[in-house]
Chain A
Amino acid sequence: MSMSQLSWVEKYKPKTLEEIVGNDAAKKDFIDWLEKWDERGKAALLHGPPGVGKTILVEVVASTFNYRLIETNASETRKIDFLENVIKPAAFNRSLFSSKVLIFFDEIDGLSAEESNAINFLLELIESSRVPIVMAANDPWAPHLYRIRDKVYMIPLHRIRSQSIVKRLRDICRAEGIRCRQEVLLMIAEHSEGDMRAAIEDLELLYSAQEDVSIEDAEKILSYRNVEKNIFEILREATYASTLERASLALSSSEEKPEDLLEWVFENILHLSPKQWLFPALRYVAEADMLLKQISKNSVWRLMPNFYHKLSSAFFAMSQKNKVSFVFPSRIRERFKRIQHLKSLRELESFFLKELHIGRSVFRREIVPLLRFLSEDDAFRSRVLNRLSDARLRELYNSIILREEVRRRPA
């Protein structure tokens, strides 16, 4: 594979400690921890938002200090046989490897609360491992990680300052032979919100399309990039996201109105979820529904992030997911028809309510079945039709009361 096929993120991945931008304190902290580590030492947990260099830091430190890195991500950590056959030997049998070993569990907040097997395994390993273990997470405060939190040395990483990102982007431009405008780089950096990986991806996106990018082009493309994902892609992202934050970001980038997004998630969760996870998953959807109603009733729009968190939690409530293609919500499709039906029902019942001195709920629950049943008799039906004063009422009677095929009356 030639270098030009690599994405810029891969191509310009830092190889040395000096090339890692920002988070100097965390760098020093992590190296200190590793150098002082002995068999009674704690495991380390690097935590911070996406794209600030958690994974890179572990990789570069390992290679700098000649550790052999055994690296796993959330989806591998789920697999117990991988843990038993690869991780366990590495943790306890150093002779397998000629060099020093560092075990790295990336994205541990991608494990859901139900994956207690994996979490128990991690806990046991932290206690007894004979080699150092480092973990990384976006959100170390996820409730199901609390047992792990107590057992580790926490090292926070922070969003990278825009200046530092701009500097890195300028280096890349120089290396690529691109003439770039300072204000465009600044815009990319601001837009990334401290996420170096996103910034480099955006840079590549902008300059792969044209040589000279104006600030207006950048603005257009960057904002477009946020919303271009269609709803199916967004659902796919939310379904397979490794962290709650990523799922939540994906959902919140949807252009659908929140109440429609809720419909999309509700309907697709019903298909995605194997039976045993349906209740916990739907529970989150039901909470999101309530939250959205409260938010719009009280106009507290600043609570919207919580709505997206609840919705994405539904995806994380399932440990396994059915393989399905996403579907258009039937409730949106049926909405018009159902409103029409309800209108007709109301129109017909307002006539009957006046004639019969009954309430709406009695009409719907008792009188509709009664009229349906009695109308199977031809004589009764024609007497009703005779008494319905106008054509519209007769039409409603035909469509609502007589909609079923005439059943045989008991003899």
Chain B
Amino acid sequence: MSISDLLWVEKYRPKTLDEIIDREEIVTRLKAFVKSGNVPNMLFVGPPGTGKTTAALALVNDLYQGSTTGRFMELNASDERGINTIREIVKDFARSRPSTEIPFKILILDESDNMTQDAQQALRRIMERYASVTRFILLANYQWGIIEPIQSRCAVFRFPPLSPTHIREGVIRVLEKEGVSWTEEAIDEIVKAARGDMRKAINIAQSAAGGLKKITGESVKQVVGVLHPREVEEMISEALKGNFTSARKRLAKLLYDDGLSANDILREMNSELMSIEMDERKRLQVVNALGEANFRVAMGADAEIQISTVLAALAADVQK
């Protein structure tokens, strides 16, 4: 038995393109590829929980008519073993060319926008060299994280956040299958917290139900904070209050206990800093510091030192 049937989000992940109910346009195009027996290299772009992985896996399933073993591979692109791993796998693919009517295998690269520019250049060459035996499906949160030469070699599919109606339908479908009852308030709370992210919605629903057969608005509210603690926001507000030491402790937890990437933290700081209330001159000072940190971390500088400097900018008085 696999771990995946313990988590609803995996247990009820659509297995075929037909099961995907909320991405009509994309599904239609993908079905056309299946019908023709050929797929191009593809880039799926969109925020978390919008069905990129699901669509890729369903495509693979339909293309190879359910017998997918050995025909595709999922890799995390930000893996530190990096581009060499990808090259080895693709070479392996080339050696064991399938004898079926579909002469290529598929490589799904998750979090491709976390690859360095150098790695992406190398990836581009691999894509060209092994075009006859491998098709790539690149998954990314941000299109601008992918270098232009790769974008132009891919069919780009956009996955915007799901509408409240779709989230609602998706959650209710899962709850019905699990035999869990719900209140309207519970569903409303889930939709509100999920913000177009289906994975988040279903995870909240499962957590709120716990071992029980019923979810309420109250039980949903209680789990939201635990599953999605606003740690970056809290770190920022501590620094703003001048509690630099406490802000630094939170930073260390995010980096070293949770193992979050500096990019993820900086990205969240970026969006928080624009909305949080503060003196505009101070915002300028902080945003400048954040820009420097962003750039330097991308160039290989130390995450803790760079982000600490942003926290110090938050804690500091405005420089004259």
Q: Of B79, B110, B208, B305, which is in contact with the most chain A CB atoms at under 10 Å from its CB?
A: B305
Is B299 a contact of A293 with CB atoms below 8 Å? yes
B300 is an interface residue with CB less than 8 A from chain A? yes
Is A279 a contact of B111 with CB atoms below 8 Å? no
Q: What are 5 A-B contacts with C-beta separation under 8 Å?
A: A279-B309, A353-B74, A355-B10, A369-B227, A387-B2
By beta carbon, the residue of chain A nearest B257 is A341
- Given A278-B312, A278-B316, check contact A361 B114 (CB 8 Å): yes
Chain B residues with CB under 8 Å of A276's CB are 316-317
* A273 nearest CB across to chain B (Å): 9
Segment from B17-25, B28-36, B84-92, B218-226 that makes contact with A: B218-226
Chain A residues with CB under 8 Å of B4's CB are 355-356
A231 is an interface residue with CB less than 8 A from chain B? no
One of B110, B223, B259 near A410 (C-beta < 8 A): B223
Is A286 a contact of B315 with CB atoms below 8 Å? no
Is A357 a contact of B206 with CB atoms below 8 Å? no
Q: Of B139, B257, B293, B299, which is in contact with the most chain A CB atoms at under 10 Å from its CB?
A: B257
A interface footprint on B37-58 (CB within 8 Å = 1, 0 otherwise)? 0000000000010000100010
A36 is an interface residue with CB less than 8 A from chain B? no
B13 is an interface residue with CB less than 8 A from chain A? yes
Residues on A lying within 8 angstroms of B by beta carbon are: 262, 266, 270, 275-276, 278-280, 282-283, 285-286, 289-290, 293-294, 297, 331, 334, 338, 341-342, 345, 352-362, 364-370, 373-374, 377, 379-380, 383-384, 386-388, 407, 409-411
User: Would you list the 9 A-B pairs with minimal beta carbon distance, nearest first?
Assistant: A279-B316, A410-B222, A359-B110, A279-B312, A359-B111, A286-B309, A282-B309, A290-B301, A278-B312
B274 is an interface residue with CB less than 8 A from chain A? no
- Given A355-B2, A377-B210, check contact A364 B227 (CB 8 Å): no
How far, in whole Å, are A285 and B289 apart by their CA atoms in the complex? Answer: 13
* B301 nearest CB across to chain A (Å): 5
B229 is an interface residue with CB less than 8 A from chain A? yes
One of A297, A341, A377, A387 near B1 (C-beta < 8 A): A387
* A283 nearest CB across to chain B (Å): 6
Chain A residues with CB under 8 Å of B53's CB are 357-358
How far, in whole Å, are A377 and B264 apart by their CA atoms in the complex? Answer: 30
Chain A residues with CB under 8 Å of B116's CB are none
A interface footprint on B47-85 (CB within 8 Å = 1, 0 otherwise)? 010000100010000000000000000101011000000
Chain A residues with CB under 8 Å of B13's CB are 357
Question: Considering the complex, which residues of chain B in the window 202-235 have a beta carbon less than 8 Å from any beta carbon of chain A?
Answer: 203, 206-208, 210-211, 218-219, 222-223, 226-229
Is B296 a contact of A289 with CB atoms below 8 Å? yes
One of A345, A366, A383 near B203 (C-beta < 8 A): A366
Chain A residues with CB under 8 Å of B199's CB are 362, 366
How far, in whole Å, are A262 and B218 apart by their CA atoms in the complex? Answer: 49
Q: Of A341, A359, A387, A409, which is in contact with the most chain B CB atoms at under 10 Å from its CB?
A: A359
One of B139, B203, B219 near A359 (C-beta < 8 A): B139
B278 is an interface residue with CB less than 8 A from chain A? no
How far, in whole Å, are A366 and B211 apart by their CA atoms in the complex? Answer: 20
One of B7, B211, B260 near A370 (C-beta < 8 A): B7
- Given A278-B312, A386-B1, A409-B210, check contact A356 B10 (CB 8 Å): yes
Number of interface residues of B (CB under 8 A): 64
Q: Is the interface of A mostly helix, strand, loop or mixed?
A: helix
How far, in whole Å, are A345 and B199 apart by their CA atoms in the complex? Answer: 22
Chain A residues with CB under 8 Å of B319's CB are 279-280
Is A293 a contact of B259 with CB atoms below 8 Å? no
Question: Considering the complex, which residues of chain B in the window 280-301 have a beta carbon less than 8 Å from any beta carbon of chain A?
Answer: 289, 292-293, 296, 299-301
B12 is an interface residue with CB less than 8 A from chain A? no
B306 is an interface residue with CB less than 8 A from chain A? yes
Is A283 a contact of B111 with CB atoms below 8 Å? no
- Given A278-B316, A380-B211, check contact A286 B296 (CB 8 Å): yes
Is B2 a contact of A342 with CB atoms below 8 Å? no
Chain B residues with CB under 8 Å of A409's CB are 210
Is A278 a contact of B7 with CB atoms below 8 Å? no
Is B259 a contact of A364 with CB atoms below 8 Å? yes
By beta carbon, the residue of chain B nearest A116 is B320
Is A357 a contact of B74 with CB atoms below 8 Å? yes
Is B306 a contact of A286 with CB atoms below 8 Å? yes
Is A369 a contact of B228 with CB atoms below 8 Å? yes
How far, in whole Å, are A354 and B72 apart by their CA atoms in the complex? Answer: 13
One of A270, A357, A360, A366 near B111 (C-beta < 8 A): A360
Is A279 a contact of B315 with CB atoms below 8 Å? yes
Is B259 a contact of A289 with CB atoms below 8 Å? no
Chain B residues with CB under 8 Å of A386's CB are 1
Chain A residues with CB under 8 Å of B78's CB are 359-361
Is B228 a contact of A331 with CB atoms below 8 Å? no
How far, in whole Å, are A366 and B10 apart by their CA atoms in the complex? Answer: 13
Is B6 a contact of A283 with CB atoms below 8 Å? no
Contacts A360-B111, A361-B78, A362-B48 known; 6 new A-B pairs at CB < 8 A: A289-B305, A290-B301, A366-B200, A366-B227, A366-B228, A377-B211
